[in-house]
Structure formats: structure tokens, C-alpha cells
Structure 1
């Protein structure tokens, strides 16, 4: 899909927000919903999405939504750091298929990184749900 198009209310993140698809919740407030990526690139890979948006990508999002969204991304990233003690944290966001976007609901990836541990390929393998729940509990406990 290109950078232009129509929002599909049937995308997996929209379904998660409506409670029609399962997720492993990490954090939620009035602006954002954070949950574990079921196809993680590293231990603790977390996604943060806006709750009240039909933006497919960053270029479509209203500026008034971006402030609270980015505050949520930072809040979750700090909790990932506190819970998992990674050597670094990669925060990424893709716009359009050529850039790597596969779900067309604005979202941010928070991916902990450790020295000497290679980054996994996204969608290479589905994570164990019980493992994700344990990680989500660790991260959630560190959200301030």
C-alpha cells in the first residue's frame, strides 16, 4: 500500500481497540493503547497505537493527537527500559509498504536491544502468549 489511501476499520489494530481481536495489554490511557507484539523482533517488543484515530500513518495524523501519542510512546519506552534493562531501545515507525509498514493504523514499535544479540526478523515467528503476558506484567509494573 502506498502513503495514500483510505483507512480500513477492519485492520488488526482497529479490531484490537474494539475488543474484537486479542492482545496482551501493557498500558492504556485515554489517548494510547500499548500491547506486546506477537511477532517480536526482540524480548519485550511493544507496540503503541493511538486510541481515537483513523490515521494510517504519521503523515496523516492530526498534530493535536501526536503530542499525547508521543508522550505515551515515551512513557512505555521508559517502562521497557526499567523492566528489562536493555543496552538500547529502538523506537520505529513506518509509513507505507516500501518503508516496511504492514498494518495501516499509525503505530510505534518499541524494541529493546542488547549488545551481542541480533535483532530478529519481524513476523518470523509467533511468540508464546504466556511469555508475552509475563513480559507485559513486568513492563506494566514499571509504568509511572
Structure 2
């Protein structure tokens, strides 16, 4: 009975005048687009506030952070659109770096913890595998508010603090 009520509630239309906020989405299968924003960042065509870079990986500040210190990690070598395309060796490298970045967010920014977020298809806005490392702060709401884009001048000082705390 309780399950039926929950299912009916979940399927109910929104209140009149309230529309669902459509999530970005990419097809789960398809060709890798070498003109996607992250491929252009790797080639140096779009500027970012870098946190870490080596020959395999790039970590940089999200231009519309959920919280101060929100970092994206991408493979510079894998032409993977989603986790389903990502080779295991790249996944291992990315997760190791995510752990280091999370620790640096705690040590360098005073975060109480961090959250890893990774979307595939539905909810994914750029067709290049990327992992979000989002610092968490006590009392701070966790939401995906719109229109919070920041410039490099705002992101770079936070990136510098994370870089300084990377081990």
C-alpha cells in the first residue's frame, strides 16, 4: 500500500504552472566529438583555472561551481564520452587523482568532506567523461542553482589554494 502511494505520488504531474527543470542529456552511444568543450580545453583553445595536469589527466575548476572548490577531472588521452567508454587504466588514474583533490579541498579550503559526481547520458552536459569533486561545508546547502558562472579571476585563487594543498 505504501509503495503504491509513493509510486502514484512520483508519477503525479507537477502543480499547474510548475515545469520540471530539464536535465542536460547526451546519447549514451555515439561518436566522440573532438570539438566538445573539454577536448578544446585539453588543446588549450578554452581557458580554465587548472588545479592539476600531467600527460594523462587534467583537473580544473568548474566554471559554475556547486560549492567553492568544485573541480572537474578529465582524461587527456581517452576519447571516452561516458564511463561505459572509459578504459580501466584511465578510471584508476582519475579515481586516484580524485582522492588527492578531495584531500586538497579538505586541507586547502577547510572543507568537511567532498562528494564525487559522475553522469552518463541523462544529466551529462559535455560528451567527454568527467568526474566532479565537490567539496562539502557544514551548513551549506547542496543544490544545482542556475546562473552561477564565475570568471577565471574568481576561480583562480581557489584553484591556487587547492594546488598548494595537493600531495
- TM-score bracket, shorter-length normalisation: over 0.9
Whole-Å separation in 1 of the counterparts to 2:88 and 2:114: 25
Unaligned runs of 5+ in 1: none
* Displacement after TM superposition at 1:126 (Å): 0.8
* Contact kept in structure 1, 2:58 and 2:76, CA below 8 Å: yes
Distance in structure 1 (CA, Å) of the matches to 2:146 and 2:75: 22
Structure 1: how far apart are the matches of 2:60 and 2:156?
Answer: 10
**Aligned-residue CA RMSD in angstroms?**
1.3
Instruction: Please say if residues 31 and 69 of structure 1, whose CA atoms lie closer than 8 Å, have aligned partners that are also in contact.
Output: no
Is the CA contact 1:40–1:123 (under 8 Å) kept in the aligned structure 2?
A: no
Q: Counterparts in 2 of 1:1-144, with a 5 A limit? A: 1-96=26-121, 98=122, 100-121=123-144, 123-144=146-167
Assess if the C-alpha contact under 8 Å between 1:40 and 1:120 holds in 2. no
Query: What are the superposed Cα offsets for residues 39-96 of structure 1, whole Å, 9 maximum, x if unpaired?
Result: 1111111111011010001111111222122112212121111111212211111000
**Which runs of no fewer than 5 residues in structure 2 stay unpaired?**
1-25
Name the larger-Rg structure. 2
Q: Which runs of 4+ in 1 moved over 2 A?
A: none
For 1:129 and 1:120, how far apart are their aligned partners in 2? 22
The offset of 1:122, in angstroms, is 5.5
Between 1:49-58 and 1:68-77, the stretch displaced more is 68-77
TM (norm. structure 2) is 0.80
Q: Secondary structure at the match of 1:15?
A: helix
Q: Which fold has the larger relative contact order, with Cα–Cα distance below 8 Å and residues 6 or more apart in sequence?
A: 1
Aligned residues: 142
Q: Which whole-Å CA distance do the structure 2 matches of 1:102 and 1:114 have between them?
A: 25
How much does 1:25 deviate? 0.6
